[in-house]
Amino acid sequence: MRLVLAALAASLALAACKKDSKPQTPPEEAPTPKKPLVVGLVTDVGGRGDQSFNDSALRGLETWAAGSRFVSGSYERLPGPARDTTIPEELRARVTSLPVKPLIVQSRAQEDYQPNLQLLVDQGAGLTIGVGFMLENAVETVAKANPEAKFLLIDSPLLDAKGEPLKLPNVRTVVFREEEGSYLVGALAGLVAKEKVCFVGGMEIPLIKKFEAGFRAGVKTVNPKAQVLVQYTGTFDNVAAGKQVAQDLVTKGCEVLFQAAGSDGLGAIQAVKEARTAGKSIFVIGVDSDQAHLAPDAVLTSMVKRVDLAVYQAARDLYDDAFTATDSVMGLKEGGVTYAPVTVGLADKDAVLSKVEALRAKVVAGEVKVPKNPAEVDGFTPPHL
């Protein structure tokens, strides 16, 4: 028995030695965190503080992606709850903070676009964003000169000299079906107003004509007898011009005014705010971002264009090494356009919004094709509600 036990002990010891003699696999190391990515953005002439198009793009980069806010010339960390309030509830699961360093250059004139884009590339931006259709030529030029750099162009495709679509391997473009969002706010305006609604555009160009066309088609759908007055300011960066045009429309009896005019629209909102203070029964509809905070009692809603989401998604894809040079179109179905919550008091508010939502469903289902050009509105056949 002693011999058997001794042999067994020796066998176990040998097995243990053999086991210990095997090379040990080192524990897996934690992945090295990615360094913050530099994402550059060039505004159009409207610039920071337009409360509209440019601020939406900045929100997507600075607030949603970087989780920061720009204060007195520098960035400070934005507390999570404060950041979350800027993100629509339906998007919060998709929008998480990224290790991104924003680099912003504001354009004062169209001549600034190309050198501003090149400056961001030279400063090491992993992605350079051009905000606005007016940057199309500059983005094309700089992208061709820097094929290793990545670009995002908001609000315009790339076009060649003949106006045909142009594809570059390092440029992503995102455009929107503004006419669809404008159709919904047009229907809302037509349901709220009795006789007269108005549209104020900035530059009289095809892009802004889409807003006008959709708005007029929406009014026609629910209130075909209403008169629609249309005026353009000719600019996007003249607050005084927007106010003057809106004041003229107020004197003509406008009941609901929709502005799609960049910074000029701030003047239009101010004109309507003052008119309401003077006792006029009139509302204004904002554009691109929810502009209710500018005049809570005067802003009926805003036609929201999710530039912030397009910018955030590009930064997200860059971080995930998934950035591709795609050409995207975002409408109601894709969540690219919508309208802001209606917070003012309205008679039969629930019934009014129910009709607007019924029209949304028809557009999303493809039952309604919203006109993109004002010339098409007369031939537009409204759906039955």
Q: What is the pLDDT of residues 344-359, one digit of tens each?
A: 999 999 999 999 999 9
pLDDT band at 385 (very low <50, low <70, confident <90, very high): confident
Where helices occur in the chain by DSSP H, the ranges are 2-21, 53-58, 80-84, 113-122, 136-145, 178-192, 206-222, 239-251, 264-277, 307-319, 349-364
Q: Do 212 and 295 reside in the same domain of the chain?
A: yes
Q: What is the per-residue pLDDT for 28? A: 53
The partner residues of 77 in beta bridges, in order of sequence, read 68
- Region 172-180: what's the mean pLDDT? 98
- Region 362-380: what's the mean pLDDT? 97
Of 113, 141, 176, the last residue of a domain is 176
Residues whose CB falls within 8 Å of the CB of residue 50, separated by 6 or more in sequence, listed in order: 262, 263, 266
The model's pLDDT over 209-261, given as tens digits with 9 standing for 90+, comes to 999 999 999 999 999 999 999 999 999 999 999 999 999 999 999 999 999 99
Residue type (1 letter), 371: P
Q: Do 103 and 222 reside in the same domain of the chain?
A: no
pTM (predicted TM-score): 0.88
Q: Do 185 and 170 reside in the same domain of the chain?
A: no
Contact (CB, 8 A) for 341 and 301: yes
CATH number at residue 109: 3.40.50.2300
Q: What is the per-residue pLDDT for 36? A: 79
Find, among 96, 303, 99, 83, the residue nearest to 187 by Cα. Answer: 303
Q: Do 370 and 235 reside in the same domain of the chain?
A: yes
Q: Cα 35 to chain center, whole Å?
A: 26
Pairing type for strands 227-232 and 37-42 reads: unpaired
The model's pLDDT over 31-61, given as tens digits with 9 standing for 90+, comes to 555 667 999 999 999 899 999 999 999 999 9
Q: What is the per-residue pLDDT for 24? A: 45
Q: Do 154 and 299 reside in the same domain of the chain?
A: no
The model's pLDDT over 268-302, given as tens digits with 9 standing for 90+, comes to 999 999 999 999 999 999 999 999 999 999 999 99
The domain in which residue 93 lies consists of 37-176
Burial class (CB within 10 angstroms; exposed 0-12, middle 13-18, buried 19+) of 274: middle
Q: What is the per-residue pLDDT for 22? A: 44
Calpha distance 25→299 (Å, rounded): 65
Give the count of domains, the chain. 2
